[in-house]
Amino acid sequence: MGRISFTGARVFDGAGFRDGALILEAGRVAGFGAPEGEVVELAGGVIAPGFLDLQVNGSGGVAIDGETDLAVLETVCAVQGRLGATGCLPTLITDRPEATARVVQAGIAATKAQVPGFLGLHLEGPHLDVRRKGAHDAGLIRPMEGRDLDLILEAASELPALMVTVAPESVSDAQIAAMTAAGVVVSLGHTECGAGVARAAMAAGARCATHLFNAMSQMGNREPGMVGAVLGSGGFAGLIADGVHVDVLTLRVALAAKREGVFLVSDCMALAGTEGTEFRLGGRRILRRQGRLTLEDGTLAGADLTLPQAVKVLVEDVGIAAERALAMASAIPAAVIGRGDLGHLRPGARADMVHLGPDWALRGVWRGGVAV
């Protein structure tokens, strides 16, 4: 395969904008400069590293649940590729132990099959706080037991990456330490804990927070809560930037307070990539209305969002620099899961990339230099 040069759009390499054309060869970044070989002329906008979504509950009409198998993960990753996420962590929310075990086995199968875009799994629950359950089934939330920890440690040894969302109320510091030692990304969320408890969990090894502001104790003047602990920490935090889950003004304040480590997640559900208006989650109806996904009682249930849409919100509504917004969808989530080979377009890197138009709408996606 000869060289291919992309021109006509600014190139963001994961850290900043580069001058010249983006030049690819054999599915990898060859460099930047004067166009060489075949030339692809783009109509303005930005080329960026392929986006990475670490919280994907489903896509293409299928959900990550107790029926998940290899085919479901293949569907989710393929649809996410078309939506701009060249890599993702399919995410299981609170469910029964047998459902967790089945999803883990499907993830191991996807790893062995080298499913394009499959980066590992995210287990969001069931070890949460029922007081901050959100759309999770309260009847299935429970403390972590020895068998749960054993399954997580085994999964971590078989998967390329594993993120586990827990509430400090439902796990011990020793369990957090054991997961961290095994390479698990322990993320705190769905918790009513105060800042002191949260900071103790961080000291034990938790280094991430799940959908900042949502389903967690808020920041107060005398009790900083989970939000205050996250904003005052050096760890990572996922953020649903749709202007619905977190108000635009709150987004602006949070990003001013925490300059590093915040990354974008879609928290999308089975309807992502479809025109559907509802589906069932654990026997409950999830409704899609006016850019929201909710239970019938109005409780938010995931988000009707893609990462390109979130970047647009950050740049146009929140007002942060394009470089920071793009890094929040690429280089930073890559760092969260320890994938230094992803999230950038440096020479030698795999040519996973997206093209966003001048209006920040998704115009094209490539995996390994091949158009999706």
Give the span between the Cα atoms of 366 and 151, in whole angstroms: 35
341 is catalytic: no
Termini Cα distance of the chain: 18
Closest CA to 6 of 359, 360, 358, 353: 353
> Which structural domains are found in the chain, ordered by start?
4-48+346-371 (2.30.40.10), 51-336 (3.20.20.140)
Q: Which residues contact 253 (CB under 8 A, 6 or more apart)?
A: none
**Residue 208: C-alpha distances to residues 101, 269, 323 (Å):** 23, 21, 22
Residue 104 phi, psi (nearest 5): -60, -45
Q: Which of 53, 95, 129, 267 is catalytic?
A: 267
Q: Which two tokens stand for residue 232?
A: 């005052």
Residue 191 contacts residue 163 (beta carbons within 8 Å) = no
Chain segment 317-333, per-residue pLDDT in tens: 999 999 999 999 999 99
Half-sphere CA count of 132, side-chain side, radius 13 A: 29
The predicted structure's pLDDT at residue 1: 62
The predicted structure's pLDDT at residue 283: 81
Residue 172 phi, psi (nearest 5): -100, 160
Q: Which residues pair with 356 in a beta bridge?
A: 46, 362
Q: Which two tokens stand for residue 368?
A: 């390994």
Q: Which two tokens stand for residue 25?
A: 């060869």
Q: Which two tokens stand for residue 261?
A: 């480590």
The predicted structure's pLDDT at residue 205: 98
Q: Which two tokens stand for residue 231?
A: 């904003």
Give the span between the Cα atoms of 190 and 198, in whole angstroms: 12
Q: Which residues contact 115 (CB under 8 A, 6 or more apart)?
A: 70, 73, 74, 77
**Residues of the chain under the 70 pLDDT cut:** 1
Residues in the chain: 372
